[in-house]
Amino acid sequence: MIFDTHAHYDDDDYSKDREVLLAKYASLGKYNIVNVGASMEGSLASIDLAEKYPFIFASVGLHPDYALIWSEGAEAQLRRLSKHPKCVAIGEIGLDYYYEEPERDAQQIAFEGQLLMAKSLGKPVIIHSRDAAKDTMDLIRKTGIGECGGIMHCFSYPPEVAKQALDQGFYIGVGGALTFKNARKLPDVVAMCPMDRIVIETDCPYMAPVPYRGQRNESTYLNYVCSRIAEIKKISVEEVERITYENALRVYHLVAASN
């Protein structure tokens, strides 16, 4: 079994063949997927996909790109969506300082608000963090969200930051970037991270692994990520699949995932 802990099958890139692709996954019977909300529209779509497909779960939240949408009304709507029985997390939420907008203060307000919301709901979080390691970790510590757990999605920081995240109870999300020839920090992070704290993810349609880099990503391509993890950890691909699947069940507070 393979658990894709972070996908965006609601994305327009799948508008022409979404049902065909997801029907293929259903027929294979070896995939579980969390479709991750990044906007209010994406959160609603994630719930819809989870209702339609037994092997899909959902998360709801506002990506830092949508920080300016955060309000009492947005929180109320996300809280309502989070009550769905197949909503397993709040995310993706976080901080992204790569671009100048939205302004950092607004991002921090939205991030902290959603962390506190998740804590009150007892839900794990899926965190997006780019060029914002210190502020991300500071808010994680300030809110105490570590007690609910979560995933540091698409991890891009050096091992010392990974250790801070692990110490706060987080799992490290590893995807296609691990297979890139120019990958520097992530192989070191995978090498130092205990196997029981690694989860795999596509972030599809983005971040397709080699040999599909630059193309639309799919959950079936996770075998390339598993192979690279197996190479670094010196274990079998089957062990990587089994352990990361169990890790996903644990972080998302699932006793068992259904197909």
What's the mean pLDDT in 122-149? 97
Q: What percentage of residues in the chain have a pLDDT greater than 90?
A: 97
- Residue 166 sits in a domain of what CATH number? 3.20.20.140
Asked if residue 106 belongs to a domain, the reply is yes
| Predicted pLDDT of residue 258 | 43
Query: Residue 232: which domain range?
Result: 2-251
In a domain, 258, yes or no: no
Q: Per-residue pLDDT tens for 148-174?
A: 999 999 999 999 999 999 999 999 999
Q: Is the pTM of this model over 0.85?
A: yes
What is the count of structural domains for the chain? 1
Mean pLDDT across 237-255: 96
**pLDDT of residue 50 exceeding 50:** yes
Average pLDDT, the chain: 96
3-state secondary structure the chain: CEEEEEECCCCHHHCCCHHHHHHHHHHHCCEEEEEECCCHHHHHHHHHHHHHCCCEEEEECCCHHHHHHCCHHHHHHHHHHHCCCCEEEEEEEEEECCCCCCCHHHHHHHHHHHHHHHHHHCCCEEEEEECCHHHHHHHHHHHCHHHCCEEEECCCCCHHHHHHHHHCCEEEEECHHHHCCCCCHHHHHHHHCCHHHEEECCCECCCCCCCCCCCCCCHHHHHHHHHHHHHHHCCCHHHHHHHHHHHHHHHCCCCCCCC
pLDDT at 257 over 50: no
- 71-126 confidence digits (pLDDT tens): 999 999 999 999 999 999 999 999 999 999 999 999 999 999 999 999 999 999 99
- pLDDT, mean of residues 26-37: 97
Q: Tell me what the mean pLDDT of segment 225-253 comes to.
A: 98
Q: Residue 259's pLDDT is what?
A: 42
